[in-house]
């Protein structure tokens, strides 16, 4: 507010200023700018998956909260005003204001012929799941040039190899460990999926576990496909 007052004082040296009208219109433009910023943060964060943009949303929410509680605009916008009033109370947006967990889960896919990935955290090891009992898409010519992230490979594994029954107990096991690690303030957990070539089954499983954990915990999840790299 001090900066605004100083701006008006300087402007009055050159032209007459209706202070009441100026300030009323000024807050309208501030509101427009906040909505533009939140739209940009939301698009880059939620749709382009650049999560660091989401960390700026709480600051915009705080500015919005001030306007909603201290400013009377010179125009009536009842529908938009209702929507704006609901934003500060959104549980989903409130979650963004919390500091990220210090727990990092590193998920690797790998080929057994090159050995199990080394845990660089210094904690030693972690979980290792052998995917070689699952029907291998790599046996089929149509999948040889693809990997486990491709929709056609995913469709094959889900429909022909029943990979979901393989992953379901793994989800529960890892979920239990993550919950325990968070309670104990641990900082790292490593999970490895191995198969023959490190291209199809292990890649698919690593991606699916990452999706599962991101949907349930506010933690750092790193996915690495060693053989594809």
Instruction: Give a three-class secondary structure readout of 168-204.
Output: HHHHHHHHHHHHHHHHCCCCEEEEEEEECCCCCHHHH
H-helix or E-strand spanning residue 31: helix 19-42
Q: How high is the pLDDT of residue 121?
A: 82
Q: How high is the pLDDT of residue 100?
A: 58
The DSSP call for residue 108 is E
3-state secondary structure 63-104: HHHHHHHHCCCCCCCHHHHHHHHHHHHCHHHHHHCCCCCCCE
**Strand partners for 191:** 107, 127
pTM of the model: 0.60
Q: How high is the pLDDT of residue 53?
A: 78
Contacts of 153 (CB under 8 A, 6+ apart): 137, 143, 146, 147, 200, 204
Q: How high is the pLDDT of residue 65?
A: 85
Contacts of 77 (CB under 8 A, 6+ apart): none
State the Cα–Cα distance between residues 205 and 208, nearest whole angstrom: 5
Which of 128, 134, 141, 191 has the alpha carbon at shortest distance from 157? 134
Q: How high is the pLDDT of residue 1?
A: 66
pLDDT tens sequence for the chain (229 residues): 688 889 899 999 999 999 888 888 888 899 999 999 988 988 888 888 776 777 788 888 888 888 888 888 888 888 998 888 888 878 777 666 655 568 999 999 999 999 999 988 887 779 999 999 999 999 999 999 999 999 999 999 999 988 999 999 999 999 999 999 999 989 999 999 999 999 999 999 999 999 999 999 889 999 999 999 9
């Amino acid at each position: 507010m001090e900066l605004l007052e100083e701006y008006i004082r300087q402007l009055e040296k050159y032209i007459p200023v209706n202070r009441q009208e100026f300030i009323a219109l000024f807050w309208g433009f501030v509101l427009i700018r906040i909505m533009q910023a939140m739209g940009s943060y939301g698009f880059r964060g939620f749709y382009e998956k650049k999560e660091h943009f989401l960390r700026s949303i709480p600051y915009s929410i705080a500015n919005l909260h001030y306007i909603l509680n201290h400013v009377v605009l010179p125009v009536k916008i009842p529908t938009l005003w209702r929507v704006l009033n609901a934003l500060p109370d959104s549980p989903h947006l409130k979650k963004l204001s919390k500091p990220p967990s210090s727990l990092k889960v590193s998920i690797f896919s790998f080929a057994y012929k090159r050995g199990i990935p080394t845990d660089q955290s210094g904690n030693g090891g972690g979980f290792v799941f052998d995917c070689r009992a699952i029907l291998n898409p790599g046996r089929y010519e149509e999948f040889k040039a693809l990997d486990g992230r491709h929709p056609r490979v995913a469709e094959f594994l889900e429909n022909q190899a029943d990979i979901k029954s393989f992953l379901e107990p793994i989800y529960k096991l890892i979920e239990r460990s993550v919950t325990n690690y968070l309670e104990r303030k641990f900082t790292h957990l490593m999970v490895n999926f191995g198969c023959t070539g490190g291209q199809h089954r292990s890649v698919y499983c690593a991606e699916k576990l990452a999706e599962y954990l991101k949907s349930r915990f506010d933690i750092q999840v790193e996915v690495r496909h060693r053989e594809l790299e």
